[in-house]
Amino acid sequence: MTYKKLSEQVHELSNPQRSDTFVKMFRDAVRDGKFEAAYMPERFTMPKQFTRRGSEGTYQRDTKEMLFETTPKFDKWFEEVNRELAAARKGGTIKPSVEAIEAGLVDFKQMAAETRKKMQASYEKGQALGQTRSKTKRK
């Protein structure tokens, strides 16, 4: 039987910025009985870089170390989770900025089309409002 520490497994993730999510999923799987693991007395620092809103710099978090048995069942679970975490996140949108547009993360043509549509809708709304007011004055 081979045993492995959670900290070693976290470093095998293809996207280390998702290490906090992986640890949460790992603990859920242990709680659900998918595989066996035990807490160890030490802690380890996760590779994810966290940022606080409105402040400069990043920080890292520590979490409890766990020891688990590596089995084919665990390896299959890890492959699925790693693939899922490597994919781009579904939540959150990229804020439009010059850097994001230049990097190709935001489509400028699409942004321009949306802006044009909003401006046209606003213009038509104003025209319609003006026409309804002029009709009420004539009566």
**Segment 18-43, tens digit of pLDDT:** 889 999 999 999 999 898 999 999 99
Mean pLDDT of the chain: 86
Q: Which two tokens stand for residue 57?
A: 């710099």
Confidence band of 14 (pLDDT split at 50, 70, 90): confident
Whole-angstrom distance, CA of residue 14 vs CA of residue 50: 18
Is 80 exceeded by the pLDDT of residue 44? yes
Grouping H, G, I as helix, E, B as strand and the rest as coil, residue 53 is coil
Can you give the residue ranges of every domain in the chain?
Answer: 3-86, 98-138
**Segment 50-83, tens digit of pLDDT:** 888 888 888 888 999 999 999 899 999 999 888 8
- Please provide residue 87's backbone torsions phi and psi, each rounded to the nearest 5 degrees: -65, 155
pLDDT of residue 60: 86
